[in-house]
Structure 1
Amino acid sequence: MSDHSVVPVSSVECAPTPSRGRIRLAIVRQRYNPAGGAERFVSRALNALSQSDGLEVSLLARKWEPIEGVRALTVAPFFLGNVWRDWGFARAARRRWQAEGYDLVQSHERIPGCNIYRAGDGVHARWLELRRQTLGFWRRLSLKLNPYHHYVCRAERKMFLDPRLKLVICNADMVKREIQQAFGLPDERFAVIYNGVDTAAFHPSLQARHRAAMRNEWQVPSDAPLLLYVGAGFERKGVARALQALTSHPSVFLAVVGSDKHLVRYRRLADRLGVSARVRFCGAQGDVKPFYGMADAFLLPTLYDPFPNVCVEALACGLPVLTSTTCGAAELIEPGENGWLADALVPASWSAAIGEWLAARSHWDELSRSARRTAEPLQLSEMADSLLARYRQLLLALPSDEQAA
């Protein structure tokens, strides 16, 4: 059985600690993108973990934002191309954590030799399998021949089969199942801990604070049904599917928050579909909370997403979530109660989901309350307590010669 529950605080406080009195934990994440969901998770986790008395946290990364209470170590070897980039960082990070002598190393990258892997990026082979189904012959061939994907799959397999890997932290049962199917790891190697969210900052009160002003700024009628999308990587996360779904619902507006190098392509698609007058491409935003405040629901027709932070942020803000069955956050959705689910590969299912949401308009207040209740248990402090309990349990069982190997 997967462990979504928060480990009682008493079990954290009573567990023995290393001889130094504090667990020295290294967290490894290569890149920082302020708009990236994985990076936002790491930042939130680091902030929460740094407040734990029994933990000394270091971050190994090419670059990162300053985080109080966290020692940041720059690991930035020269590279040309993405294969060299990932291989070089993995090699340099492993050397650095071995030199520092940490008690535990938690990697958010596919690096063999770590004690803990946080599987926030899911299973690369599963992503490739789904992506192939959306491509024509030549693009499928290009995908197959791309050396980067071969590198990632090899590194992933080597890491999961490395005997030094003792714990895999998944952010959804979906990811746990995929890893087990691909690599055969036993249940006891896993912990399923959903992403935490700041439920005070992401709150239904954002609507009262921002709805009128934001709709006026972005020229959205005050009574128009408004769907919100937040995220980078428009192809994977389904902006084209969102635009296509709008064609069946002429009253619905869509706000797209995020950047993409092919933004012009999506603007042109909106024009061809005849929905551009109802779509607002808002670009990347440092603060997304006002956009949650202006929306009526959240739409993420992603092809594959282990567990996007934006879904729990939206739920915390009282927005019902419409997302795909290949999104880990689907595990939180009760169709018709706090959102709807659709198949990313079936365009008609998105139009149907939006139609059901519109048909329930008289119950939107009830949907909002249900969405908020879903997010309320997912506190950042409880996520940190669950992680810390796992670290202590693992350290007790880990032979000293395997710590930070």
Structure 2
Amino acid sequence: MHLAIVRQAYNPFGGAERFIERALNSLGPDAVRVTLLTRKWNSEPRPGMAVRLLRTPGLGRLLRDISFTRSVRTLIRSQVFDLVQSHERIPGCDIFRAGDGLHVSWLEQRARTLGTLGRLLQRLSPWHRYILRMEARMFAHPHLRAVICNSEMVRQDVARRYPRLASRLHLIHNGIDLAHFHPGLRAQYRDSIREQLGVPESARVVVFVGSGFERKGVGQLLAAMAEPGLTQAELWVIGKDKHARRFQRRAQQLGVASRVRFLGPKKDVAPYLGAADAFALPTLYDPMPNAALEALASGLPVLSSIQSGAAELIQLGQNGERVDALDIHGIATALGRLLEAAHDPSQQPALASAARQSVAAMSQESMAAELTALYRQLLGQPGPL
């Protein structure tokens, strides 16, 4: 099968890219030949994947996105692919993977953080208006045969806004490398990473993993660290953000800079998950963050916002907590409970077990089997791909 995958900027640290890599690893190059349509490639060549770079003007994101969309639509009309799976809002593709959810829903959540002027500028933004228009056109396009939703939250959201697509919505969770992320990371890395960072065993450590600090909730975490219940806790921020220095200055203003470490992006976050006590992602909007799934697989209790697909995996008091993304006091209180339990020898093993069990069925192999079944259904093939 020749599959075209559309992703504007391929960043190996991104959630969509890890989905693609895991899917290809599980499906195998003998089953699927892939052509990646992208404008930016920042990874190593891999068997079974050809990369087609589509040049776009560097004159702002609106012109860039318009140019990329037109290039993709021209290419898929002129070249024969068995299926075209887009991770971007581009009308005319066979499959849309809603890994980023709905733009309209993201803007609704973002508006909660803006003042009157900010909300007006968001509504008038030419780029946001363009993306909303492309999103609506994509869902209305007759070529769209399937929408892959990576959480029940997203599936319900699309079904509510586009009822006629209900039969074309497929819930396929992200696959986790369950052999790489496991509760044994605690014994494997806790001492060495803490020694490397100069963090004592007694320290209560919260870890955050994500790129795009504003959306993912780093600001709320910094504010929560200043709350009385977390004055003895430490926060590790792992990820990439072009405004990282702004958040570092915010930590200083809040008086928590000595307890917050900005560690930058990491190719492998497993050692840091093993060394931490709890994971926090109070994101404004996130369909199903891979980082939260990997933390659960590693046996870490997770603080999730209710605006995240990961919230549907949380069993309160057993493997984590759920709070509103903007509830600073609620974030601090919930993290305090998780850290207390994680440092209690009578509770920590049960926390780790419950966390692992909540994602035990979300393997890469399971995701690959569901993708294969969907591709086969769309191609009308009863046998192997």
Corresponding residue of 2:379: 395
Query: For 1:314, which of 276, 281, 295 is the aligned residue?
Result: 295
Matched, 1:91 2:75: no
- 1:46·1:67 contact (CA, 8 Å) conserved in 2? no
Partners of 2:339 and 2:189 lie apart in 1 by 22
Give the C-alpha shift of residue 178 in structure 1: 1.4
AA of the residue aligned to 1:369: S
Bigger RCO (CA 8 Å, 6+ sep) = 1
| Identity value in percent | 48
One-letter identity of the residue aligned with 1:30: Q
1:167 paired with 2:181, answer no
Equivalent of 1:40 in 15, 18, 23: 18
Letter of the structure 2 residue corresponding to residue 225 of structure 1: R
Query: Gaps (5+ residues) in structure 2?
Result: none
**Residues 1:190 and 2:190 are matched in the alignment:** no
Q: Give the C-alpha shift of residue 364 in structure 1.
A: 1.7
CA distances 1:187-214 after superposition (whole Å, capped 9, x unpaired): 2111001100111111222222221121
What displacement does 1:48 show?
2.4
Distance apart, 1:79 and its partner CA: 4.3
Aligned residue runs from structure 1 range 5-404, under 5 A? 23-51=1-29, 53-64=30-41, 65=43, 66-247=45-226, 248=228, 249-361=230-342, 362=344, 363-396=347-380
Q: Secondary structure at the match of 1:60?
A: strand
Q: Deviations along 1:40-99, whole A, 9 cap, x unmatched? A: 222222332334x54332221223322222222222233421111111111111222232
State the number of aligned residues. 374
CA deviations over 1:112-136 (Å, ceiling 9, x no partner): 0011100011110111111111112
The DSSP-based 3-state class of the residue aligned with 1:188 is: helix
C-alpha distance in structure 1 between counterparts of 2:359 and 2:46, whole Å:
25
C-alpha distance in 2 between matches for 1:102 and 1:220: 52
CA positional deviation for 1:219: 2.2
Distance in 2, Cα, partners of 1:135 & 1:219 = 38
Structure 1 segments unaligned to the other structure (5+ residues): 1-22, 398-405
Structure 1 residue ranges, 4+ long, deviating more than 6 angstroms after superposition: none
Residue 113 of structure 1 aligns to a residue whose secondary structure is coil
Could you tell me the TM-score, scaled by structure 2's length?
A: 0.93
Q: Secondary structure at the match of 1:232?
A: coil
Measured after TM superposition, the shift of residue 246 of structure 1 is 1.6
